[in-house]
Amino acid sequence: MSTFPYKHIIWDWNGTLLDDSHMAVMVINETLAKRNMPTIDHDRYQKIFGFPVIDYYRRLGFDFKDESFEIVGTEFIKGYETHKYEVSLHAGVEKVLKTLSERGVTHSILSAYKQNTLDELVGHFGLTDRFMKIVGLDNHYAHSKVGNAIQWMSEIPYDHSEVLFVGDTEHDHEVAEAIGVDCVLIPGGHQNRDKLVDTGARVVEKIEDLIFNIEH
């Protein structure tokens, strides 16, 4: 059995552990259709989604002259909340968390999701006890995770070389760089493989690859 080269994994939640990107497309299309704006498919979504989320909304066609980002963003979040229990974890998530925990690896979540809802959803899947800490934002506008990442990294009892950040977007790579840790990205979430490869981070095809294919 190969030795996993990290002692701690910081996980992104939405799109990385939670398979919610198709639901996000459905909800944003409801928001767009309500305004007679062109809707998108999942492929288009993965190409234009990114952080800060307000810029993604602009790529969708919003100019925020007649209504604010807060209004549109809140409408999306309400729709997302309506359907949040209809999504599932990505295949292999529970197995990977269990296997790595048995090897002594600890875990945390760092998410752009609002804290109280994040706690609820992680608990819904029975995963709360898997994580040292679950870190979300204090709002639902998803500007950035960097500030929370820096704070959490200052609390983690591990050297930077012992920590791995796992996510599904360019922003996850930016966060990993901001706190000086290695990063692995997994397609199949909120951005496509090409965008992830362009970051220069290591890209694996599925979450199980973390167990078998990650070496220093």
* Statement to judge: residues 61 and 134 lie in one domain: no
> Is 170 inside a domain boundary?
yes
Answer yes or no: are the C-beta atoms of 161 and 176 closer than 8 Å. Answer: no
Q: Strand, coil or helix: what is 72?
A: helix
Sole residue written with tokens 């609002």: 114
The amino acid at 139: N
Answer yes or no: are the C-beta atoms of 199 and 173 closer than 8 Å. Answer: yes
Number of domains in the chain: 2
Domain that holds residue 31: 21-86
* Statement to judge: residues 15 and 25 lie in one domain: no
Residue 142's pLDDT band, with cuts at 50, 70 and 90, is very low
> Is 1 inside a domain boundary?
no
> Is 123 inside a domain boundary?
yes
Q: What is the pLDDT of residues 175-214, one digit of tens each?
A: 999 999 999 999 999 999 999 999 999 999 999 999 877 7
* Statement to judge: residues 142 and 181 lie in one domain: yes
Look at residue 184 in the predicted model and tell me its pLDDT: 97
Look at residue 182 in the predicted model and tell me its pLDDT: 97
CA–CA separation, 133 vs 65, rounded Å?
Answer: 39
Find, among 24, 60, 61, 7, the residue nearest to 168 by Cα.
24
* Statement to judge: residues 81 and 163 lie in one domain: no
* Statement to judge: residues 30 and 50 lie in one domain: yes
